[in-house]
Structures are given as structure tokens and as C-alpha cells.
Amino acid sequence: MQNTPVGTNLVSVATGFSRGNLLVDPAVPIEGAQADVFSLTPAFFRAIDFFGMSGKVGVAVPMATGEWAGNALGIDTAVTRTGFSDPRLVMSVNFLGAPALGRSSMRTYRPKTVAGIQLSVQAPLGQYSPERLINLGLNRWSFQPRLGVAQTLSSHVTVEGYAAATFYTANTDYFGGTELTQEPFLEAQFHAIYAFSKPGLWMAASIGYGRGAQIAIDGEKEESLENVRISAVLKVPLARQHGLKLVYINGLTTRLGADFDTFQVAWQYGFGGRP
């Protein structure tokens, strides 16, 4: 929800490692699944002027390589996958407290209460084969609207809250010639951000709760997902317009769904912007 000068381009490359019960599709019938997954995600975002409101549009194209092991349909098995996951398109607009500004106006801008909406669309273009239990793509669209509110408490402290719902289309070509459907997944997140005196240096702690996304295969329903996750982020400025972000994510509690630890490093470069 950060206000960015209109016309600014943001290029980032994130690489990460995840370990645990991590399945791209939670419907996969693997018991005791364990995975080691390396990911690389290049992304591009541009700050826009949306009828006087600040916003962003962008795309992220994740790639992954990993090994999964577990008991699949009564047989101990291990598989390796390398390729593209489903790309994600994003558009966000801050409709309160964050007007579209150029670089010169941003020098005097002081955020107070900011509210915004975001829509993410995940396209079924990743690596997928209906003959495989484990794939890097989902072979179905997903749409996630998200509402967020941020409140600046002081020159150093900001708190944010988000609520989101993810909706899925059906995978009509699922494993074994079946059809997979999934109900919406609902989630809420809370972030506390501390900005240091040095410009561009900040840290954040987050907690999130998610529930829903009940899966049905040919109409036969499975259990709903439910989890609590925590994360920590440290943003470090490098050379002018360059930054480095260090991220840790932990599946604190999981009744059903992915239970994993993720470590991620992301480089970001910003350029351009309206004067």
C-alpha cells in the first residue's frame, strides 16, 4: 500500500527455499509429503495514476525446481519437477489517503490513513500434465480481490490489515480424468512495520489466518484448509534505487494444507517516475 511516484518502474527478482509439507495443489493424495523447493520469481510493476488515485499494475512469473517425497496411493514415491509455475497479474488502487503524485510532490507527502484494493489473477500457464499427481501449475484460473487499510502511528511505526478471498475455476482435466473444484479461500493478515531513521531501511512482522478452499473431486468433498502463518521481513537499501529484501515465512499451525518454512531473498530496482 506504499505510495510510489507515478510512472516509477519496479523490477525485482526473488529467490527462495522452502522445506516441509508443501504441495502446489492440496488435493494431491500424498500422505506425509515432504518437499525441498527452490524458486525464482522475476516481477515487474509500474506505478500508475488511476483517475487521481495512486495504483500499481504488474506481473510475476515464478519458476521452481524441487523434490517431493511421500506415500502416494499406497506407494512410497519421490518425484522431481523443474519449470514454470502459474504467472500472476496484479492491479491495485489506493482509493483513500494516497493520491497520485510525482517525485517532487512526494517529498512533502506524509501518509496517515491509507485504504486500497487489489485484484490478483493467476493464469493456468504453468507446467501441468493430467497424468502427473504433482505439477507446478494448477490448470485453472484463480482470482483474488483484497482490501487493505494502513495507519501511520508515528514517523517510525505503521500498522496494516488485509482481508482477501481467492476464487477458483474448475480443473476439468485433473489426474485420472476427474474434475477438481474448490470453494473460496478466505484470509486475513496483520502487519506491523518499523521504519528506521535511515531512508529505505525498515522491518516488519506479520501474522495471517486462512480458512476454506474445500476441494471436491468429481463431487466428493475433502476437508477444508485452515492455517496460521507468521513472517518477518527486513528491507535494506543498497545503492541508489536498489534494495534488498530478506523474508522468512513459517506455517505456525496447520489443520490441513501446506506446513513449511520459507527463506527468501529479493532484489529490487526502481527507475523512472513523473517529476
Cα separations in angstroms, 73 against 20, 51, 176, 258 = 20, 54, 12, 19
Amino acid at the residue 102? G
By residue range, what is the domain housing residue 132? 8-272
Asked whether residue 41 is domain-assigned, the answer is: yes
Nearest alpha carbon to residue 131 among 181, 79, 169, 168: 79
Does residue 256 register a pLDDT over 50?
A: no
CB-based contact 14:163 (threshold 8 Å): no
Does residue 167 register a pLDDT over 70?
A: yes
Asked whether residue 226 is domain-assigned, the answer is: yes
Of the ranges 7-21, 99-113, 165-179, 241-255, which one carries the lowest mean pLDDT score? 241-255
How confident is residue 25, by pLDDT bands cut at 50, 70 and 90?
low
Q: What is the pLDDT of residues 43-98, one digit of tens each?
A: 999 999 999 999 999 999 999 999 988 776 555 677 899 999 999 999 999 999 99
CA-CA distance, 272 to 101, in Å (whole number)?
A: 13
Choice between 103 and 207, residue whose per-residue pLDDT is larger:
207
Average pLDDT for residues 235-245, to the nearest whole number? 93
- Indicate the SS3 state at residue 112: coil
Count how many domains the chain has: 1
Nearest alpha carbon to residue 28 among 263, 261, 256: 256
Does residue 27 register a pLDDT over 60?
A: no
Of the ranges 19-28, 59-68, 122-131, which one carries the lowest mean pLDDT score? 19-28
Mean residue pLDDT of the chain comes to: 89
Asked whether residue 1 is domain-assigned, the answer is: no
Does residue 253 register a pLDDT over 80?
A: no
Asked whether residue 63 is domain-assigned, the answer is: yes
- Kindly state the percentage of the chain with pLDDT values over 90: 65
Confidence (pLDDT) at 19 = 84
Confidence (pLDDT) at 185 = 92
- Kindly state the percentage of the chain with pLDDT values over 70: 91
Does residue 210 register a pLDDT over 80?
A: yes
How confident is residue 22, by pLDDT bands cut at 50, 70 and 90?
low
Asked whether residue 242 is domain-assigned, the answer is: yes
The CATH number for 248's domain is 2.40.128.130
Confidence (pLDDT) at 70 = 75
